[in-house]
Chain A
Amino acid sequence: MAQEQNILDEVVQSDYKYGFTTDIEQELLPKGLDESVIRFISAKKNEPEWLLEWRLKAFEQWKRMVEPTWPNVKYPRVDFQDIIYWAAPKKKEGPASLDEVDPELLATFEKLGIPLEEQKVLAGVAVDVVLDSVSVKTTFQDKLAELGIIFCPISEAVANHPELVRQYIGSVVPTNDNFYAALNSAVFSDGSFVYIPKGVRCPIELSTYFRINARNTGQFERTLIIADEGSYVSYLEGCTAPQRDENQLHAAVVELVAHRDAEIKYSTVQNWFPGDANGKGGIYNFVTKRGVCEGRNSKISWTQVETGSAITWKYPSVVLKGDNSMGEFYSVAVTNNHQQADTGTKMIHIGKNTRSRIVSKGISAGVSQNSYRGLVKILKVAQGARNYSQCDSLLIGDACGAHTFPYLEVANETATVEHEATTSKIGEDMLFYCNQRGIDTEAAVALIVNGYAREVLNQLPMEFAVEAQKLLAISLEGSVG
């Protein structure tokens, strides 16, 4: 249909909303990676010896590993020696208040619409902002401290709570887990650390905004969240990135540990630069996210709305160790133009009566490729385990692809595993019905897509859900088939 083609073209031309760069004085290390770089990073952060050793071990492991080639994505090889592994905004002496923070930086946040202080205070959200590699400003720490909650940059946690970091770091994602996890372990710059003590319900949503800013800077965030017995925390992660020509690598590691009766809810809205209409540029997003339900009745829930990045390679997983523990994965992944996503989850059932639920909604448009890859593994000892998976694909236009690769491995006869998948398009009858009610095709697509994704969007905290809905509409503006 000619009209739809026009709208499609329009979208292809719509520029990345958050594409700009900030000019801040930066401290850069030359490109490339060897042991001295790791020693430099570790020294720069005044790390204890054990952490340096840990990094070096990871580096040794990484050198022996090869990049995974099994995901259903194609991209030019990454030259790991052509990446800067350390970039930090130059620190002035003790920026105690916002006034002392580089005004350029504040302007950047302004442009992004990130309400750093007052707005966040009003909204009741504490923010740990990461610009490139070093945390700049943390709010609400005092209030959280009263409850015994630790929410700080991981580098700070290394200094102030070394016993906790040492106990848990790498306990969920070992340094040699995979190629990118090993790389992250060797060179991680900063990230968030959260500890919720026994019986404490974190009263606010913890949130962090990541940005990728420095040219050619690989980002290696490391997040560690520990929910002690009977505690609860909801953590939000949202991303925007400035427009760049070169591909940028992002290889984060997120580790979650939920003890007995604890619950962790981890929500992500990801809107990194997806590359331009010709597939030039864009972020490579190779992330390892995993949680372990360590104790009885614990619960970990991943919710993600993925609209950005040129390449996404991401499988937030849950290891269900504790009896009666529960894992959830709710995902909306949108690919448009030349984007490629290979994302899904792994649910590893070990404990008795463990349950998992997977709801994945893929949306492909343009010439993009969208793959769901998921593993449900029921071990022999996992008596009474149950899984339910629903994987839907929506295709918009006839030049994209939707792929589903579920792996269902069942070794216990009392388990119940159910998997369903469907593929559909936005029907012309649906669009005409909306048109007849006065809703133009572009708005109709946004409406229909948000309806399609509603089950996942409902899982997000209210503030995020609104943002996510807008993102879906922006990412797909008018691409109709």
Chain B
Amino acid sequence: MSSLLEIKNLHASIEDREILKGVDLVVHAGEVHAIMGPNGSGKSTLASVLAGKEDYTVTEGSILLNGKDLMELSPEDRSHEGLFLAFQYPVEIPGVSTANFLKTAVNEHRAYRGDEPLDPGAFLALMKEKMKLVEMDPSFLQRSLNEGFSGGEKKRNEIFQMAMLEPTLAVLDETDSGLDIDALRIVAGGVNALRTPNNATVVITHYQRLLDYIVPDVVHVLWNGRIVRSGDKSLALELEKRGYDWIKNETAVEA
């Protein structure tokens, strides 16, 4: 089985402060990985670095997606290559409708692959179909992107966009934060429906709760900028029961 994502010895810093201190991670097609860890452990930084946010400087290491070196690519080309980041805090863009935003995004993806833009009718049909996945009302298409959306609506919109762009690697950054149980179920249902043997999902979360709905193949614990432990889904349950302190202690002893 070939690896879809391969992160080697990744070091990244912001304003001279090192946040990631040597992350190694391999994700294969068809897998779901969960990355857990206490606040400040570097989880969201990892997501931002994967997506190519300029605020972070990668000082060492490599990231390969489908064998392509991501460091060479702009954020939009990483997207075109199949990386999708579901943002923890989706951005509001006043005056730009969700439909218009997605039309632009989808057609940019198509242009990258050398495809013609979708005609408006086919595009609308596609949107309506994908919206059902996350039980979004079509009226959202006309509203300004994320503007005035509730927390749950924003997260559903993220998964809707993911469905439209059909990424090979989806990174969900704290997608469960701020969701009530119904919204959580809907969001997770959307993610599960999008799983295929050819794509993979990395779920970044603080709590085990989401993993009841999106069942991971591998669970990693990120602490102090490194993956300090990996295991199956039982690791998540253990973390839920015992908190993170025991990991910190054991890691400290090991170090």
Contact = CB atoms under 8 A, between A and B. Distances in A.
Interface of A: 1, 3, 427-430, 432-441, 443, 447-448, 450-455
Given A432-B53, A447-B96, A451-B144, A439 B91 contact: no
B101 A437 contact: yes
B95 A453 contact: yes
Contact of B108 (A3, A438, A452): A438
Given A3-B74, A438-B76, A440-B76, A433 B104 contact: no
A452 B94 contact: yes
A448 B93 contact: yes
A439 B104 contact: yes
A1 B95 CA distance: 26
Q: Among the interface residues A428, A437, A452, A454, which one has the most CB atoms of the partner chain B within 10 A?
A: A437
Nearest to A437: B105
A179 to B, nearest CB: 38
Interface of B: 51-54, 74-76, 78-80, 84-85, 87, 90-91, 93-96, 100-102, 104-105, 108-109, 112, 144, 161, 165
Given A435-B76, A435-B79, A440-B74, A448 B96 contact: yes
Nearest to B100: A447
A455 B95 CA distance: 8
B95 A437 contact: no
Contacts of A448: 93, 96
Given A433-B91, A451-B94, 10 more contacts: A1-B54, A430-B91, A436-B75, A437-B105, A438-B80, A439-B76, A447-B104, A451-B144, A453-B95, A454-B95
Contacts of B79: 435-438
Nearest to B147: A451
Contacts of A447: 93, 96, 100-101, 104
A435 B109 contact: no
Contacts of B144: 451
Contacts of B95: 450-455
A450 B95 CA distance: 7
A396 to B, nearest CB: 15
Contacts of A429: 91
B94 A435 contact: no
Given A3-B74, A432-B75, A439 B93 contact: no
A59 B29 CA distance: 81
Nearest to A429: B91
The 4 closest A-B pairs by CB, nearest first: A451-B95, A451-B96, A435-B75, A438-B79
B165 A437 contact: yes
B160 to A, nearest CB: 12
Nearest to B171: A436
